[in-house]
């Protein structure tokens, strides 16, 4: 036993922020949140039934599963992985080959159950790679996952039969006999398939947090050494959690295979692995629902915003930096802070200050957007002329006027933001002073 080294290993703190939700049962809130989730999943496509909305929501469903599976590692067990796309991606590749075999009539398999196969494939690769990665914890674990991720990405070009080379493997999801008229041709049918798998996966992953292994994972996150001294092999705990997490990642991957009808090397890339880390951090790793919020926000950025502006990745990066610096617990931690106020019926007293804060934030946001868009127009897109428009207002980036407007917005925004911040803090302190008295 290399005990000196393993002791040093366990001293490295996992990169996790925020709090667990377990020490204060908020049962009513929990039921409301779950009820709303189910309701939204069922009803939203009836309200927004356009093709774009369905695409957006389908991708949200997939990303929610992927982000929650990632948070089994990061938030629940304190394992920072840089290679989680390996499991979703390889799950997707296995699924796409199976789907093509079904399409060629070589065997029979229902498309709706494909995610189960993808999940098992993910878990299989979890057993394989996890055996290596989970030998270590902390920074070493993070580095090994990065190495495995690069290795799998590199092999995607070395084994074109399985990975399809640069073009990837394309497929057709409309195979086999339609069941009750369901062909999975229309986007809406695919959405409901994704929604169903998403809900089942969410419930399963939540249930997992309430099992002995789920709780011991929290213990390993908080203090791996102590966990060893109450009888737990922390390496085994990390390994098992990784396999389970890879299973759900595989489900997400095969759903994306059905949704896009193509799987390529991009599915196992470091970009995907980094994306899910971003989504979970933005949403909040410390609360179960954090990654769900993060996934929704992330897809809004990646799909909706990328349609509007070429600078979407810059906005996402800025947003990520702001969140990590000022709200390390993610959006979920901001929401959780309001729950005690809501319970004491004091949230109303905070709303005026929040409104002021939101107004100041909006000014600052418009300053950022105007600046970024002006710079992009001049630096990246000037070949098409410098005329541009935002919110239907046309102007010329080559003139000085819009730059002055941007400068004014910055000045007003920053001053207002500081003032609003002070006001929110004062209102918060006042309420909490009262709460204690």
Partner 1 sequence: MTDTTGIKAAAALELTDVRKKFGQTEIIRGVTLSIGKGERHALIGPNGAGKSTTFNLVSGRFAPTSGSVRLNGREIGGLEPFVINRMGLSRSFQITNIFHRLSVFENLRCAVLWALGYRYSFWHRLSALRDAKERADEVLELIGMHHRRDTQAGLLTYAEQRALEIGITIAGGADVILLDEPTAGMSRSESDHAVELIRKVTAGKTLVMVEHDMSVVFGLADRISVLVYGEVIATGTPEAIRNDRKVKEAYLGTTLEEAAEGAH
Region of 182-190, 192-200, 207-215, 367-375 interacting with partner 1 (CB under 8 A): 207-215
Residue with tokens 């239907």: 392
Please list, residue by residue across 98-108, b when 16 or more beta carbons sit within 10 angstroms of its beta carbon and e when fewer do. bbeebeeeeee
Given 237, 246, 316, 427, the residue binding partner 1 (CB under 8 A): 237
Map residues 318-357 to x or -, x wherever contact with partner 1 holds by CB under 8 A. ----------------------------------------
Distance, CA of 163 to CA of 97 (rounded, Å): 10
Region of 20-28, 52-60, 116-124, 381-389 interacting with partner 1 (CB under 8 A): 20-28
Q: Which two tokens stand for residue 167?
A: 């073009």
Residue among 229 and 326 whose Cβ is closer to partner 1: 229
The DSSP result for 217-262, as a single string, is: HHHHHH-HHHHHHTT--HHHHHHHHHHHHHHHHHHHHHHHHHHHSE
> Nearest distance from residue 131's CB to partner 1, in Å?
15
Q: Counting contacts by CB under 8 A, is residue 232 touching partner 1?
A: yes
> Nearest distance from residue 424's CB to partner 1, in Å?
24
CA 130 to chain centre: 21
Residue among 288 and 298 whose Cβ is closer to partner 1: 288
Q: Which two tokens stand for residue 62?
A: 């997939």
Given 8, 11, 24, 313, the residue binding partner 1 (CB under 8 A): 24
- Residues numbered 241 to 280 that lie near partner 1 (CB under 8 A) are 244
- Beta carbons of 63 and 299 less than 8 angstroms apart: yes
Residue with tokens 């009539």: 105
Q: Counting contacts by CB under 8 A, is residue 211 touching partner 1?
A: yes
DSSP letter (8 states) at residue 310: T
> Nearest distance from residue 246's CB to partner 1, in Å?
14
Give the side-chain half-sphere CA count within 13 A for 362.
6
Q: Counting contacts by CB under 8 A, is residue 432 touching partner 1?
A: no
Provide the binding-site residues for partner 1, judged by CB under 8 A.
Answer: 1, 3-4, 7, 19-20, 22-24, 207-208, 210-216, 218-219, 221-223, 225-234, 236-237, 240, 244
């Amino acid at each position: 036993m290399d005990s000196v080294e393993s002791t040093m290993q366990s001293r490295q703190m996992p990169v996790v922020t925020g709090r667990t939700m377990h020490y204060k049962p908020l049962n009513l809130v929990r039921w409301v949140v779950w009820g709303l989730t189910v309701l939204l999943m069922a009803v939203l496509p009836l309200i927004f039934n356009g093709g774009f909305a369905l695409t957006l929501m389908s991708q949200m469903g997939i990303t929610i599963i992927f982000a929650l599976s990632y948070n089994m590692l990061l938030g629940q067990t304190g394992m920072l992985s840089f290679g989680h796309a390996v499991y979703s991606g390889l799950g997707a590749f296995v699924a796409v080959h199976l789907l093509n075999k079904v399409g060629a009539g070589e065997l029979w398999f229902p498309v709706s159950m494909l995610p189960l196969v993808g999940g098992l494939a993910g878990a299989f690769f979890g057993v394989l790679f996890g055996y290596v990665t989970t030998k270590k914890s902390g920074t070493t674990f993070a580095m090994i996952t990065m190495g495995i991720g690069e290795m799998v990405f590199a092999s995607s070009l070395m084994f074109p039969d399985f990975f399809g080379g640069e073009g990837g493997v394309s497929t057709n999801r409309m195979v086999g006999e339609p069941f009750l008229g369901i062909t999975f041709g229309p986007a809406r049918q695919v959405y409901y398939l994704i929604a169903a798998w998403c809900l089942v996966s969410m419930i399963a992953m939540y249930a997992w947090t309430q099992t002995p292994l789920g709780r011991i994972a929290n213990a390993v996150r908080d203090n791996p050494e102590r966990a060893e001294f109450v009888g737990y092999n922390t390496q085994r705990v990390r390994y098992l959690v990784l396999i389970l997490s890879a299973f759900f990642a595989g489900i997400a991957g095969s759903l994306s295979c059905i949704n896009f009808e193509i799987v390529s090397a991009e599915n196992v890339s470091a970009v995907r692995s980094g994306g899910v880390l971003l989504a979970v951090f933005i949403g909040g790793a410390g609360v179960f629902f954090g990654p769900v919020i993060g996934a929704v926000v992330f897809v809004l950025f990646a799909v909706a915003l990328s349609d509007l502006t070429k600078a979407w990745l810059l906005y996402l990066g800025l947003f990520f930096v702001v969140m990590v610096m000022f709200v390390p617990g993610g959006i979920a931690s901001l929401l959780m802070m309001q729950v005690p106020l809501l319970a004491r019926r004091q949230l109303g007293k905070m709303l005026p200050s929040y409104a002021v804060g939101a107004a100041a934030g909006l000014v600052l946001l418009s300053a950022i957007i105007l600046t970024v868009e002006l710079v992009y127009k001049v630096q990246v897109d000037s070949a098409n002329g410098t005329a541009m428009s935002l919110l239907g207002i046309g102007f010329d980036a080559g003139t000085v006027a819009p730059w002055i407007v941007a400068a004014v917005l910055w000045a007003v925004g920053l001053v207002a933001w500081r003032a609003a911040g002070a006001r929110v803090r004062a209102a918060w302190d006042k309420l909490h002073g009262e709460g204690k008295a």
